[in-house]
């Protein structure tokens, strides 16, 4: 199972990013607070056999220095290897900026299906597009009843990281990727 998790508002606290760092982009991921429970949740997902990838649309404004700072912050907050990569996307184009796990990316291209992916994001447009495309999606930190009604089979809501992990555990058990004993 691959879990794509958004940076802003999911791994890092967007509200506090805006408050402390918006004037200086170089501080965004080095001084911005991590979301409560994120490191522990990512560690648990790794223990369950998930490959966790950070994803952001911010790549269109990142400079090479900002890419390096973001990678550094992910390594600072998360245990080595728990975030397998950082992918930025801009309008139908994706690019990996952490390439030390190319073997995972190749394995995913060769052996994965859309059912093997989960997106966790707080952005309604991203979540809606993914759910519409058939990707199992978790709307993080807020609820939207209309979206839940529109995509009952591909959209779940988690207000925090423990809830997100529970949803992913249930999905993995449902897909036969996790035994009840492993919980």
pLDDT band, very low/low/confident/very high, at 20 (cuts 50, 70, 90): low
> What confidence score (pLDDT) does residue 2 get?
86
User: How far is Cα 181 from Cα 127, in angstroms, rounded to an integer?
Assistant: 31
Domains belonging to the chain, first-starting first, are 2-182 (3.40.50.1000)
Does residue 20 sit in helix, strand or coil? helix
74-105 per-position pLDDT tens digit: 777 787 668 877 776 554 444 444 444 445 44
pLDDT at position 18 over 80: no
> What confidence score (pLDDT) does residue 152 get?
93
Which residues have C-beta within 8 Å of that of residue 181, sequence separation ≥ 6? none
pLDDT at position 30 over 80: no
In the DSSP assignment, the letter for residue 179 is: -
Please say whether the beta carbons of 120 and 140 come within 8 A: yes
Across 38-173, where does the E strand assignment appear?
51-56, 83-90, 93-96, 117-121, 136-140, 155-158
């Amino acid at each position: 199972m691959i879990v794509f998790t958004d940076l802003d508002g999911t791994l890092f606290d967007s509200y506090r990013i805006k408050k402390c760092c918006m004037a200086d982009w170089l501080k965004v991921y080095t001084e911005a607070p991590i979301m409560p429970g994120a490191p522990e949740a990512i560690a648990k997902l790794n223990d369950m056999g998930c490959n966790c990838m950070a994803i952001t649309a911010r790549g269109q404004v990142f400079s090479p220095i900002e890419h390096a700072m973001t990678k550094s912050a992910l390594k600072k907050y998360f245990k080595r290897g728990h975030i397998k990569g950082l992918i930025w996307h801009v309008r139908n184009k994706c690019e990996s900026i952490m390439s030390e796990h190319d073997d995972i990316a190749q394995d995913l291209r060769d052996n994965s299906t859309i059912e093997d992916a989960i997106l966790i994001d707080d952005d309604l447009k991203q979540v809606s597009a993914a759910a519409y495309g058939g990707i199992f999606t978790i709307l993080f930190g807020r609820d939207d009843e209309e979206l839940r009604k529109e995509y009952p089979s591909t959209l779940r809501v988690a207000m925090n990281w423990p809830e997100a992990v529970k949803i992913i555990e249930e999905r993995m058990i449902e897909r036969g990727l996790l035994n009840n004993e492993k919980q």
